[in-house]
Structure 1
Amino acid sequence: MGEAKRRKKNDPDFGKPKGASVLERKLDLLQKQMELRLEEIRASYQHKGNMGSNVEEVIREFLREFLPPHNRIGQGEVVDFDGNSSTQLDLVITNEYHPYLNDLTKPSVFFIEGIACVGEVKSVLNSNDFDSILRNCLTYKQLKVNLQDGMRTFINPSDLKRFVEKRPYFLFAFESQLSLSTLLEKTKRFNTDNNLDFWQQIDGIFILNRGQVINFGDGQGTFQFADHKGNTIPGLISIDIEEDPKVLFGFLSWLNSAMPRIEIQFPILMSYLMKGQIPINAGR
Structure 2
Amino acid sequence: MKKFSFKDAIEDIINEINLAKLKAESIHKSSNIRSSGDEVEDLIRSKVSLFLPERYLVKQGQIIDDEGNVSNQFDIIIFDRLSTPKFFESRNGTVYYPIESVLAIGEIKKTLTPKHTKEFAKSIYHFKHVMKRKLKENTFHGLSAIKADIRDVLNFDINQKYKNPLYSFVFAIDGILDKTQIGEPIDIFTNDIIILNNGCRFHGAIIDGKFKPLVSDDADKIENILNYKGIPSENLSVFLDVLIRHLNRCKVEPFSISNYISKDILVYNKEKVEAKDISGFRTLDEIKKIIP
CA 1:165–1:69 in structure 2 vs 1: closer, same or farther (change >3 Å)? closer
C-alpha displacement at 1:36, in angstroms?
A: 2.0
C-alpha displacement at 1:174, in angstroms?
A: 0.8
| Residue of 39, 58, 74 corresponding to 1:73 | 58
Q: Provide the C-alpha distance between the structure 2 equivalents of 1:151 and 1:172, rounded to a whole number of angstroms.
A: 37
Structure 2 partner of 1:13: none
Matched, 1:125 2:116: no
CA 1:84–1:215 in structure 2 vs 1: closer, same or farther (change >3 Å)? farther
Q: Where does structure 2 lack aligned partners over 5 or more consecutive residues?
A: 140-148, 214-221, 264-292
Q: So what's the TM-score if we normalise by structure 1?
A: 0.70
CA offsets, 1:147-171, max 9 Å, x none? Answer: 499895533343434xx45411110
Matched, 1:139 2:126: yes
Q: Which 10-residue stretch deviates more, 146-155 or 27-36?
A: 146-155
Matched, 1:216 2:213: no
Matched, 1:173 2:159: no
Q: Provide the C-alpha distance between the structure 1 equivalents of 2:14 and 2:150, rounded to a whole number of angstroms.
A: 38
Q: Which amino acid aligns with 2:178?
A: S
SS at match of 1:72: strand
Structure 2 partner of 1:25: 8
C-alpha displacement at 1:201, in angstroms?
A: 4.1
Q: Provide the C-alpha distance between the structure 2 equivalents of 1:151 and 1:40, rounded to a whole number of angstroms.
A: 53
| Residue of 84, 87, 100 corresponding to 1:101 | 87
CA offsets, 1:128-159, max 9 Å, x none? Answer: 22321122223223341264998955333434
C-alpha displacement at 1:206, in angstroms?
A: 0.5
Q: Provide the C-alpha distance between the structure 2 equivalents of 1:158 and 1:120, rounded to a whole number of angstroms.
A: 28
CA 1:132–1:234 in structure 2 vs 1: closer, same or farther (change >3 Å)? same
Q: Which residues of 2 match residues 34-53 of structure 1 at below 5 A? A: 34-46=17-29, 47-53=32-38
CA offsets, 1:48-103, max 9 Å, x none? Answer: 32211111101111023222333122211112344443211011111121113342
Structure 1 partner of 2:224: 235
Q: Which amino acid aligns with 1:119?
A: G
CA 1:109–1:257 in structure 2 vs 1: closer, same or farther (change >3 Å)? same
Asked if the contact 1:180–1:213 (Cα under 8 Å) also holds between the matched residues in 2, the reply is yes
Q: Provide the C-alpha distance between the structure 2 equivalents of 1:85 and 1:218, rounded to a whole number of angstroms.
A: 36
Q: Provide the C-alpha distance between the structure 2 equivalents of 1:50 and 1:88, rounded to a whole number of angstroms.
A: 17
SS at match of 2:53: coil
Q: Which amino acid aligns with 1:269?
A: I
SS at match of 2:5: helix
Asked if the contact 1:28–1:246 (Cα under 8 Å) also holds between the matched residues in 2, the reply is no
SS at match of 1:119: strand
Q: So what's the TM-score if we normalise by structure 2?
A: 0.68
C-alpha displacement at 1:224, in angstroms?
A: 2.2
CA 1:155–1:182 in structure 2 vs 1: closer, same or farther (change >3 Å)? farther
Identity between Structure 1 and Structure 2 (%): 19
C-alpha displacement at 1:237, in angstroms?
A: 1.1
Q: Provide the C-alpha distance between the structure 1 equivalents of 2:165 and 2:150, rounded to a whole number of angstroms.
A: 15
CA 1:157–1:39 in structure 2 vs 1: closer, same or farther (change >3 Å)? farther
Structure 2 partner of 1:64: 49
Q: Which amino acid aligns with 2:21?
A: L
Asked if the contact 1:152–1:263 (Cα under 8 Å) also holds between the matched residues in 2, the reply is no
Instruction: Answer 1 or 2: higher relative contact order, Cα 8 Å, separation at least 6.
Output: 1
Q: Which 10-residue stretch deviates more, 165-174 or 21-30?
A: 21-30
Structure 1 partner of 2:285: none
Asked if the contact 1:208–1:247 (Cα under 8 Å) also holds between the matched residues in 2, the reply is yes
SS at match of 2:251: strand
CA 1:37–1:151 in structure 2 vs 1: closer, same or farther (change >3 Å)? farther
Structure 1 partner of 2:161: 160
Q: Provide the C-alpha distance between the structure 1 equivalents of 2:38 and 2:74, rounded to a whole number of angstroms.
A: 12
CA 1:217–1:157 in structure 2 vs 1: closer, same or farther (change >3 Å)? farther
CA 1:135–1:219 in structure 2 vs 1: closer, same or farther (change >3 Å)? farther
Q: Provide the C-alpha distance between the structure 1 equivalents of 2:66 and 2:39, rounded to a whole number of angstroms.
A: 32
Asked if the contact 2:63–2:71 (Cα under 8 Å) also holds between the matched residues in 1, the reply is yes
Asked if the contact 2:164–2:251 (Cα under 8 Å) also holds between the matched residues in 1, the reply is no
Structure 2 partner of 1:254: 242
CA 1:35–1:82 in structure 2 vs 1: closer, same or farther (change >3 Å)? same
